[in-house]
Structure 1
Protein backbone atom coordinates (compact mmCIF):
# COMPACT_ATOMS: atom_id res chain seq x y z
CA UNK A 1 0.00 0.00 0.00
CA UNK A 2 1.34 3.40 -0.99
CA UNK A 3 1.74 5.88 1.87
CA UNK A 4 0.50 9.04 0.15
CA UNK A 5 1.57 11.28 3.03
CA UNK A 6 5.20 10.15 2.98
CA UNK A 7 5.23 10.22 -0.81
CA UNK A 8 4.03 13.85 -0.74
CA UNK A 9 6.69 14.75 1.83
CA UNK A 10 9.51 13.29 -0.22
CA UNK A 11 8.28 14.84 -3.47
CA UNK A 12 8.26 18.21 -1.70
CA UNK A 13 11.76 17.46 -0.35
CA UNK A 14 13.01 16.88 -3.91
CA UNK A 15 11.19 19.95 -5.23
CA UNK A 16 12.61 22.17 -2.48
CA UNK A 17 16.17 20.93 -2.91
CA UNK A 18 16.16 21.08 -6.69
CA UNK A 19 14.70 24.59 -6.62
CA UNK A 20 17.37 25.81 -4.19
CA UNK A 21 20.16 24.27 -6.28
CA UNK A 22 18.87 25.89 -9.48
CA UNK A 23 18.40 29.27 -7.82
CA UNK A 24 21.92 29.10 -6.38
CA UNK A 25 23.40 27.89 -9.67
CA UNK A 26 21.89 30.78 -11.62
CA UNK A 27 22.90 33.16 -8.81
CA UNK A 28 19.31 34.18 -8.07
CA UNK A 29 19.83 32.96 -4.49
CA UNK A 30 22.86 33.40 -2.25
CA UNK A 31 23.70 32.86 1.41
CA UNK A 32 22.00 36.10 2.45
CA UNK A 33 18.72 35.10 0.83
CA UNK A 34 18.90 31.63 2.40
CA UNK A 35 19.46 33.29 5.77
CA UNK A 36 16.45 35.55 5.25
CA UNK A 37 14.36 32.51 4.29
CA UNK A 38 15.54 30.80 7.46
CA UNK A 39 14.53 33.76 9.62
CA UNK A 40 11.15 34.05 7.89
CA UNK A 41 10.48 30.32 8.17
CA UNK A 42 11.47 30.29 11.84
CA UNK A 43 9.16 33.22 12.58
CA UNK A 44 6.25 31.57 10.76
CA UNK A 45 6.95 28.33 12.62
CA UNK A 46 6.84 30.12 15.96
CA UNK A 47 3.58 31.91 15.12
CA UNK A 48 2.02 28.73 13.70
CA UNK A 49 2.32 27.00 17.06
CA UNK A 50 -0.40 29.30 18.38
CA UNK A 51 -2.21 30.72 15.35
CA UNK A 52 -3.49 29.04 12.19
CA UNK A 53 -2.05 31.12 9.35
CA UNK A 54 -4.08 30.79 6.10
CA UNK A 55 -2.06 28.92 3.50
CA UNK A 56 0.64 27.93 5.98
CA UNK A 57 -1.85 25.84 7.99
CA UNK A 58 -2.94 24.03 4.81
CA UNK A 59 0.69 23.40 3.91
CA UNK A 60 1.49 21.99 7.35
CA UNK A 61 -1.50 19.62 7.25
CA UNK A 62 -0.39 18.33 3.84
CA UNK A 63 3.33 17.91 4.52
CA UNK A 64 4.15 18.05 8.24
CA UNK A 65 4.17 15.04 10.54
CA UNK A 66 1.54 15.26 13.25
CA UNK A 67 4.00 15.34 16.13
CA UNK A 68 5.72 18.44 14.76
CA UNK A 69 2.65 20.57 13.98
CA UNK A 70 2.34 21.70 17.60
CA UNK A 71 5.96 21.32 18.74
CA UNK A 72 7.96 22.55 15.73
CA UNK A 73 5.85 23.23 12.63
CA UNK A 74 7.88 23.25 9.42
CA UNK A 75 10.79 21.51 11.13
CA UNK A 76 11.96 19.60 8.07
CA UNK A 77 11.96 22.58 5.71
CA UNK A 78 13.68 24.82 8.27
CA UNK A 79 16.47 22.32 8.92
CA UNK A 80 16.77 21.74 5.17
CA UNK A 81 17.52 25.45 4.69
CA UNK A 82 19.96 25.34 7.63
CA UNK A 83 21.84 22.49 5.92
CA UNK A 84 21.92 24.35 2.61
CA UNK A 85 23.09 27.57 4.25
CA UNK A 86 25.91 25.81 6.09
CA UNK A 87 27.38 24.16 3.00
CA UNK A 88 27.06 27.36 0.94
CA UNK A 89 29.06 29.22 3.59
CA UNK A 90 31.60 26.48 4.28
CA UNK A 91 32.44 25.07 0.87
CA UNK A 92 33.19 26.12 -2.69
CA UNK A 93 30.20 26.48 -4.99
CA UNK A 94 30.64 23.14 -6.77
CA UNK A 95 30.87 21.17 -3.54
CA UNK A 96 28.01 23.09 -1.93
CA UNK A 97 25.66 22.37 -4.83
CA UNK A 98 26.74 18.72 -5.03
CA UNK A 99 26.17 18.32 -1.28
CA UNK A 100 22.66 19.73 -1.54
CA UNK A 101 21.96 17.26 -4.35
CA UNK A 102 23.06 14.39 -2.09
CA UNK A 103 20.66 15.65 0.57
CA UNK A 104 17.85 16.23 -1.92
CA UNK A 105 17.93 12.92 -3.75
CA UNK A 106 19.87 10.64 -1.42
CA UNK A 107 17.64 11.21 1.57
CA UNK A 108 14.35 11.05 -0.36
CA UNK A 109 15.21 8.00 -2.46
CA UNK A 110 16.58 6.22 0.61
CA UNK A 111 13.35 6.86 2.51
CA UNK A 112 10.99 5.93 -0.32
CA UNK A 113 12.90 2.89 -1.57
CA UNK A 114 13.29 1.58 1.95
CA UNK A 115 9.61 2.19 2.72
CA UNK A 116 8.18 0.54 -0.40
CA UNK A 117 10.79 -2.04 -1.42
CA UNK A 118 13.09 -2.57 1.55
CA UNK A 119 13.28 -6.07 3.01
CA UNK A 120 16.56 -6.17 4.94
CA UNK A 121 16.94 -4.19 8.15
CA UNK A 122 19.99 -1.94 8.28
CA UNK A 123 22.53 -3.54 10.67
CA UNK A 124 23.21 -0.16 12.31
CA UNK A 125 19.61 1.02 12.53
CA UNK A 126 16.64 -1.31 12.78
CA UNK A 127 14.25 1.43 11.67
CA UNK A 128 15.89 1.70 8.23
CA UNK A 129 16.29 -0.72 5.34
CA UNK A 130 19.66 -1.48 3.76
CA UNK A 131 18.18 -1.36 0.23
CA UNK A 132 16.96 2.17 0.82
CA UNK A 133 20.38 3.27 2.05
CA UNK A 134 22.14 1.77 -0.97
CA UNK A 135 19.78 3.19 -3.59
CA UNK A 136 19.69 6.54 -1.82
CA UNK A 137 23.49 6.67 -1.98
CA UNK A 138 23.44 5.84 -5.69
CA UNK A 139 20.80 8.47 -6.43
CA UNK A 140 22.60 11.13 -4.39
CA UNK A 141 25.95 10.34 -6.00
CA UNK A 142 24.51 10.38 -9.49
CA UNK A 143 22.88 13.79 -9.03
CA UNK A 144 26.00 15.22 -7.36
CA UNK A 145 27.90 14.38 -10.56
CA UNK A 146 26.31 17.42 -12.19
CA UNK A 147 28.75 19.51 -10.15
CA UNK A 148 31.74 17.35 -9.17
CA UNK A 149 33.50 14.31 -10.60
CA UNK A 150 32.12 10.85 -9.99
CA UNK A 151 34.69 9.83 -7.38
CA UNK A 152 33.92 12.82 -5.17
CA UNK A 153 30.18 12.48 -5.82
CA UNK A 154 29.78 8.82 -4.92
CA UNK A 155 32.30 8.89 -2.08
CA UNK A 156 30.49 11.83 -0.51
CA UNK A 157 27.07 10.28 -1.04
CA UNK A 158 27.89 6.79 0.26
CA UNK A 159 29.74 8.00 3.34
CA UNK A 160 27.10 10.62 4.17
CA UNK A 161 24.25 8.13 3.81
CA UNK A 162 26.15 5.51 5.83
CA UNK A 163 26.74 7.92 8.72
CA UNK A 164 23.14 9.20 8.47
CA UNK A 165 21.88 5.67 9.09
CA UNK A 166 23.76 5.55 12.41
CA UNK A 167 21.82 8.57 13.73
CA UNK A 168 24.64 10.73 15.09
CA UNK A 169 23.87 12.45 18.38
CA UNK A 170 24.97 15.71 19.94
CA UNK A 171 24.32 15.28 23.62
CA UNK A 172 20.93 13.58 23.87
CA UNK A 173 19.65 14.95 20.56
CA UNK A 174 19.94 13.24 17.18
CA UNK A 175 21.45 15.58 14.58
CA UNK A 176 18.85 16.19 11.89
CA UNK A 177 19.47 14.43 8.55
CA UNK A 178 19.00 17.70 6.69
CA UNK A 179 22.05 19.11 8.45
CA UNK A 180 24.17 15.96 8.79
CA UNK A 181 23.97 14.66 5.21
CA UNK A 182 25.15 17.79 3.33
CA UNK A 183 27.88 18.52 5.90
CA UNK A 184 29.32 14.99 5.71
CA UNK A 185 29.02 14.84 1.91
CA UNK A 186 30.62 18.28 1.55
CA UNK A 187 33.45 17.41 3.93
CA UNK A 188 34.31 14.23 2.02
CA UNK A 189 34.29 16.08 -1.31
CA UNK A 190 36.44 18.84 0.20
CA UNK A 191 38.99 16.26 1.37
CA UNK A 192 39.22 14.91 -2.18
CA UNK A 193 39.45 18.39 -3.70
CA UNK A 194 42.24 19.58 -1.42
CA UNK A 195 44.19 16.35 -1.76
CA UNK A 196 44.18 15.87 2.00
CA UNK A 197 43.88 12.11 1.55
CA UNK A 198 47.34 11.97 0.02
CA UNK A 199 49.25 13.70 2.83
Structure 2
Protein backbone atom coordinates (compact mmCIF):
# COMPACT_ATOMS: atom_id res chain seq x y z
CA UNK A 1 0.00 0.00 0.00
CA UNK A 2 2.90 2.37 0.74
CA UNK A 3 4.22 1.93 -2.80
CA UNK A 4 0.83 2.79 -4.31
CA UNK A 5 0.60 5.94 -2.13
CA UNK A 6 4.16 6.86 -3.05
CA UNK A 7 3.53 6.55 -6.77
CA UNK A 8 0.27 8.51 -6.69
CA UNK A 9 2.07 11.28 -4.79
CA UNK A 10 4.97 11.02 -7.27
CA UNK A 11 2.51 11.51 -10.15
CA UNK A 12 0.76 14.48 -8.52
CA UNK A 13 4.08 16.06 -7.54
CA UNK A 14 5.33 15.70 -11.12
CA UNK A 15 2.20 17.25 -12.62
CA UNK A 16 2.46 20.10 -10.09
CA UNK A 17 5.99 20.96 -11.22
CA UNK A 18 5.06 20.69 -14.90
CA UNK A 19 2.22 23.15 -14.29
CA UNK A 20 4.59 25.52 -12.48
CA UNK A 21 6.92 25.40 -15.47
CA UNK A 22 4.06 25.69 -17.98
CA UNK A 23 2.79 28.87 -16.33
CA UNK A 24 6.35 30.29 -16.07
CA UNK A 25 6.36 30.14 -12.28
CA UNK A 26 9.22 27.63 -12.08
CA UNK A 27 12.67 28.39 -13.43
CA UNK A 28 16.11 26.83 -13.01
CA UNK A 29 17.03 29.02 -10.04
CA UNK A 30 13.83 28.18 -8.18
CA UNK A 31 14.31 24.48 -8.91
CA UNK A 32 17.90 24.70 -7.63
CA UNK A 33 16.77 26.47 -4.46
CA UNK A 34 14.05 23.86 -3.81
CA UNK A 35 16.57 21.06 -4.37
CA UNK A 36 19.06 22.81 -2.05
CA UNK A 37 16.48 23.28 0.71
CA UNK A 38 15.43 19.62 0.49
CA UNK A 39 19.06 18.48 0.53
CA UNK A 40 19.93 20.66 3.54
CA UNK A 41 16.85 19.47 5.40
CA UNK A 42 17.79 15.86 4.66
CA UNK A 43 21.31 16.48 5.97
CA UNK A 44 20.24 18.33 9.12
CA UNK A 45 17.01 16.42 9.75
CA UNK A 46 18.23 14.88 12.98
CA UNK A 47 18.73 18.38 14.45
CA UNK A 48 15.78 20.26 12.96
CA UNK A 49 12.35 18.73 12.49
CA UNK A 50 9.41 20.29 10.69
CA UNK A 51 6.13 18.54 11.45
CA UNK A 52 4.51 18.92 8.02
CA UNK A 53 7.58 17.60 6.18
CA UNK A 54 8.00 14.69 8.58
CA UNK A 55 4.30 13.86 8.19
CA UNK A 56 4.76 13.51 4.39
CA UNK A 57 7.95 11.51 4.77
CA UNK A 58 6.27 9.02 7.12
CA UNK A 59 3.47 8.47 4.61
CA UNK A 60 5.27 8.60 1.27
CA UNK A 61 8.95 7.69 1.66
CA UNK A 62 10.36 4.20 1.74
CA UNK A 63 11.82 3.32 5.12
CA UNK A 64 15.46 2.86 4.20
CA UNK A 65 18.00 2.65 7.00
CA UNK A 66 20.06 5.82 7.32
CA UNK A 67 18.40 7.48 4.33
CA UNK A 68 15.68 10.07 4.77
CA UNK A 69 14.13 12.17 2.03
CA UNK A 70 15.98 10.24 -0.69
CA UNK A 71 12.95 10.23 -3.01
CA UNK A 72 12.17 13.92 -2.46
CA UNK A 73 15.77 15.07 -2.91
CA UNK A 74 16.35 12.96 -6.02
CA UNK A 75 13.00 14.03 -7.52
CA UNK A 76 13.86 17.72 -7.04
CA UNK A 77 17.31 17.11 -8.54
CA UNK A 78 15.59 15.56 -11.57
CA UNK A 79 13.29 18.59 -11.86
CA UNK A 80 16.31 20.91 -11.67
CA UNK A 81 18.15 18.95 -14.38
CA UNK A 82 15.13 19.10 -16.69
CA UNK A 83 14.49 22.82 -16.17
CA UNK A 84 18.13 23.94 -16.18
CA UNK A 85 19.46 22.00 -19.15
CA UNK A 86 16.60 21.64 -21.61
CA UNK A 87 14.25 23.97 -23.44
CA UNK A 88 10.83 24.39 -21.84
CA UNK A 89 8.80 21.96 -24.02
CA UNK A 90 11.44 19.26 -23.67
CA UNK A 91 11.74 19.84 -19.91
CA UNK A 92 7.99 19.46 -19.48
CA UNK A 93 7.94 16.29 -21.62
CA UNK A 94 10.88 14.86 -19.65
CA UNK A 95 9.16 15.62 -16.34
CA UNK A 96 5.97 13.96 -17.60
CA UNK A 97 7.95 10.87 -18.61
CA UNK A 98 9.28 10.80 -15.05
CA UNK A 99 5.91 11.41 -13.40
CA UNK A 100 3.68 9.26 -15.61
CA UNK A 101 6.13 6.59 -16.75
CA UNK A 102 7.84 5.89 -13.46
CA UNK A 103 4.57 5.86 -11.51
CA UNK A 104 2.78 3.62 -14.01
CA UNK A 105 5.67 1.17 -14.30
CA UNK A 106 5.74 0.69 -10.55
CA UNK A 107 1.97 0.52 -10.03
CA UNK A 108 1.30 -1.90 -12.90
CA UNK A 109 4.48 -3.84 -12.22
CA UNK A 110 3.48 -4.44 -8.60
CA UNK A 111 -0.18 -5.17 -9.36
CA UNK A 112 0.09 -7.20 -12.59
CA UNK A 113 3.73 -7.96 -13.29
CA UNK A 114 5.00 -11.48 -12.88
CA UNK A 115 7.64 -11.97 -15.57
CA UNK A 116 10.83 -10.05 -14.84
CA UNK A 117 12.88 -8.18 -17.40
CA UNK A 118 15.80 -10.36 -18.58
CA UNK A 119 18.30 -7.82 -17.21
CA UNK A 120 16.56 -6.98 -13.94
CA UNK A 121 15.40 -8.90 -10.89
CA UNK A 122 13.14 -6.04 -9.74
CA UNK A 123 11.52 -4.71 -12.92
CA UNK A 124 8.74 -6.46 -14.82
CA UNK A 125 7.82 -6.58 -18.49
CA UNK A 126 4.25 -5.48 -17.71
CA UNK A 127 5.48 -2.58 -15.58
CA UNK A 128 7.85 -1.40 -18.30
CA UNK A 129 5.14 -1.72 -20.98
CA UNK A 130 2.66 0.39 -19.01
CA UNK A 131 5.45 2.79 -18.10
CA UNK A 132 6.08 3.34 -21.82
CA UNK A 133 2.36 3.83 -22.54
CA UNK A 134 1.83 6.35 -19.75
CA UNK A 135 5.15 8.12 -20.37
CA UNK A 136 4.06 8.57 -23.99
CA UNK A 137 0.66 9.94 -22.91
CA UNK A 138 2.38 12.49 -20.68
CA UNK A 139 5.11 13.50 -23.12
CA UNK A 140 2.87 13.82 -26.18
CA UNK A 141 1.24 16.86 -24.58
CA UNK A 142 4.49 18.78 -25.18
CA UNK A 143 6.33 17.17 -28.09
CA UNK A 144 5.35 15.42 -31.32
CA UNK A 145 3.88 11.90 -31.08
CA UNK A 146 6.93 10.37 -32.78
CA UNK A 147 9.37 12.12 -30.43
CA UNK A 148 7.22 11.25 -27.41
CA UNK A 149 7.14 7.60 -28.46
CA UNK A 150 10.89 7.30 -29.08
CA UNK A 151 11.78 9.10 -25.84
CA UNK A 152 9.28 7.05 -23.82
CA UNK A 153 10.50 3.70 -25.16
CA UNK A 154 14.18 4.53 -24.65
CA UNK A 155 13.78 6.25 -21.27
CA UNK A 156 11.58 3.54 -19.79
CA UNK A 157 13.94 0.86 -21.11
CA UNK A 158 16.77 2.63 -19.30
CA UNK A 159 14.51 2.87 -16.22
CA UNK A 160 14.07 -0.91 -16.31
CA UNK A 161 17.78 -1.44 -15.64
CA UNK A 162 18.79 -1.91 -11.98
CA UNK A 163 21.23 1.00 -11.97
CA UNK A 164 20.18 1.88 -8.41
CA UNK A 165 22.66 -0.73 -7.23
CA UNK A 166 25.38 1.77 -8.15
CA UNK A 167 23.55 4.54 -6.29
CA UNK A 168 21.82 6.31 -9.19
CA UNK A 169 18.10 7.04 -8.78
CA UNK A 170 15.55 6.91 -11.61
CA UNK A 171 14.20 10.30 -10.48
CA UNK A 172 17.49 11.73 -11.77
CA UNK A 173 18.11 9.37 -14.70
CA UNK A 174 14.67 9.62 -16.36
CA UNK A 175 14.52 13.41 -16.86
CA UNK A 176 18.16 13.46 -17.99
CA UNK A 177 17.83 10.59 -20.48
CA UNK A 178 14.45 11.85 -21.75
CA UNK A 179 15.76 15.38 -22.17
CA UNK A 180 18.89 14.27 -24.02
CA UNK A 181 16.90 11.99 -26.35
CA UNK A 182 14.31 14.68 -27.11
CA UNK A 183 17.03 17.27 -27.71
CA UNK A 184 18.79 14.94 -30.15
CA UNK A 185 15.57 14.31 -32.09
Cα deviation for residue 34 of structure 1 reads 0.8
More strand, by proportion: 1
1:41-80 superposed Cα distances (whole Å, 9 cap, x missing partner): 1121122234543222222111111115xx2311111111
Q: How does 1:16-95 map to 2 (within 5 A)?
A: 16-67=13-64, 71-95=66-90
Which of residues 101, 120, 129 in structure 1 aligns to 2:124? 129
- Give distance in 1, aligned partners of 2:103 and 2:46: 27
1:184 aligns with 2:177: yes
CA distance in 1, matches of 2:56, 2:102: 21
Determine the C-alpha separation between the residues in 1 that align with 2:112 and 2:124: 9
Q: 1:116 aligns with which of 106, 111, 117?
A: 111
The root-mean-square deviation of aligned C-alpha atoms, in Å, is: 1.5
**Contact 1:49 1:73 survives alignment (8 Å):** no
Aligned residue among 127, 130, 135 for 1:140: 135
Q: Calculate the TM-score normalised by the size of structure 1.
A: 0.88
- Residue 174 (str. 1) matches residue 167 (str. 2): yes
Equivalences, count: 185
In the TM superposition, residue 97 of structure 1 has moved relative to its aligned partner by 0.6
The residue that corresponds to 1:196 in the other structure is none
- The gaps in structure 2 that reach 5 residues or longer are none
Deviation at 1:191, TM superposition (A): 1.1
Runs of 4+ in 1 over 4 A off after TM superposition: none
TM (norm. structure 2) is 0.94
Separation of aligned partners in 2, 1:24 and 1:106: 19
